Amino acid sequence: MGNTLGAFRFMTRGNQSYAPDREEDFAEKNIGVPCRVVTGNKVAQNVVANIGNILTREEFSFGIAVPRRDFTGGVCPSNVTTGKTHEKYKRFMLEVLSKASGEIPVLIAKSVLSNISQWGSAPRDFELKMMAVVADTLIPSIFGQSTPFEAEEIDLYASGVIEPTAPVLKQLSRMNLDKERQALSSIVAKVKTSERYQQLLDLGKSHGLTEEETTGQLLFTAFFNGIAGTTVNIVGSFARLASISGEDREELREEALAALKKHGGLTPEALGEMPKVESFVLESLRANPSALIWGFVAPRPTTLKYTAKSGEREVEIKEGELVLASSYWVLRDPAVFDKPEDFVWRRFLGPEGEARRQDHVVFMGRLNDTPAPSNYMCPGKDAALSLLKGSVAIFNTFFGWELQEPPVWTGTKFLRSAMPDNEVKIKKFWVQHPEDLKDIFPSHADDILNALV
């Protein structure tokens, strides 16, 4: 298949354009560029384990897309760097986000409730409003107080920072980026005047980063990976809540309410006592992963050995060959996940659910992996999971909503990522349990009740 036809199939059929037949874990495909697509779960885990060994990242490349250099200040994002440079950038971001993670539970509760108090009973542009929820959580945890960041600006930045790798798609994506660059300039100015910017520069310097490197890593990690990436997951999880039964939502609510009452609000301890909510979030990430493809290259001819359901296997990879791991299909491998097309929110509960977690790949790694300078697991994994669990707990415990239309996922809308094919639009939004809201979050209750009349 040629590059043009491959690109057309990819743009019109998304994940379905490289759907596996499950006889071949390492299929040769073309999605605008020739590549090997990994769709088997066990071989994908082997690929992740061998990054930096027999496979590597290509600088400034995600495989199917590349970051525009003028949107990163010419600094290569840490998740597409290699060797000592990757380790240096990753150590810096790990320290930044480890300090931020402890603030997430309190900030997500404040952000969700404060934003809802401004929505009204029929909020428009709901997906953008959810980006504001994520931004109001992550930005204070990293940058402290600053001039408010607008979700519209962050959305423009995120839409401009990446362009396709395939030449035919790159030509189609060449648009006027004046608004996106204006948004970038505004965001950078606000970052540089934020409360903690000098502290972050000092921290970067202690890790051997220049000011340009520090700002570039913060920009891409916080605003693209962090805010834009987590927004598609939070929208996807919200839509999944609308797709399960009322009885299931009540079961999730009862667990979260008990933990919130016991700990007097959303705290790390409260989140730790919500295994059902956590299982729901993990199933949302399995059914609708946000990072749909991870790209690697072979720096030299190599043989990759792995274990499949049929036994020991091996595959020959050519020097320079592009290898893409499809998290969408890896997490639908029937060899490891029973009824993979079904949304089973209890899938990760109990001893069997714990065992299944070893096959869950998410955030550029295996779920059970600890982010480290030596791997590519997202440094904000724990922060993202806390944010997702906390948002699901707050929305489902206190509020009700009706969507304009049921969410649909077909796997053909690649650019929608973890979100449903159809835009999530709210027909009606209301407080479902006002007394519980007043009891646990009294400082927000009156504003919300007045707003949602």
What CATH fold (topology level) applies to the domain 3-451? Cytochrome p450 (1.10.630)
423: left (phi over 0), alpha (psi -120 to 50) or beta: beta
pLDDT digits (tens, 9 = 90+) for 50-98: 766 678 888 888 888 889 999 999 999 998 898 899 999 999 999 999 9
Helix, strand, coil % in the chain, rounded to nearest 5: 55, 10, 35
The residue type found at 232 is V
The answer on pLDDT for 1 being more than 70 is: no
pLDDT digits (tens, 9 = 90+) for 298-334: 888 888 877 766 778 888 888 888 888 889 999 999 9
Considering only residues 50 and 296, tell me which one the structure prediction assigns the higher pLDDT.
296
**The two structure tokens encoding residue 373:** 């300078």
pLDDT digits (tens, 9 = 90+) for 120-167: 999 999 999 999 999 999 999 999 987 789 999 999 999 999 988 877
Query: Which has the minimum average pLDDT: 11-25, 209-223, 276-290, 336-350?
Result: 11-25
The answer on pLDDT for 49 being more than 80 is: no
**What pLDDT was estimated at residue 100?**
87
pLDDT digits (tens, 9 = 90+) for 396-442: 999 999 999 999 999 999 889 999 999 999 999 999 999 999 999 99
- Report the alpha-carbon distance of residue 391 to residue 133 in Å, rounded: 9
What SS3 class is residue 382?
Answer: helix
pTM, rounded to two decimals: 0.95
- Report the alpha-carbon distance of residue 273 to residue 30 in Å, rounded: 45
pLDDT digits (tens, 9 = 90+) for 387-405: 999 999 999 999 999 999 9
pLDDT digits (tens, 9 = 90+) for 206-251: 999 999 999 999 999 999 999 999 999 999 999 999 999 999 999 9
**What pLDDT was estimated at residue 173?**
65
**What pLDDT was estimated at residue 7?**
82
**What pLDDT was estimated at residue 437?**
97
Average pLDDT over every residue of 39-44: 86
144: left (phi over 0), alpha (psi -120 to 50) or beta: left
Q: Residue 101: count other Cβ atoms within 10 Å of its Cβ.
A: 20
At 295, the pLDDT band (50, 70, 90 cuts) reads confident
Check if the beta carbon of residue 29 is closer than 8 Å to that of residue 42. Answer: no
Query: Which has the minimum average pLDDT: 24-33, 108-117, 361-370?
Result: 24-33
The DSSP code sequence of 111-145 is HHHHHHTTT-SS-SSHHHHHHHHHHHHHHHHHH-S
**What pLDDT was estimated at residue 11?**
83
Look over the chain and give the mean of its residue pLDDT values, rounded to a whole number. Answer: 91
User: Which residues have C-beta within 8 Å of that of residue 435, sequence separation ≥ 6?
Assistant: none
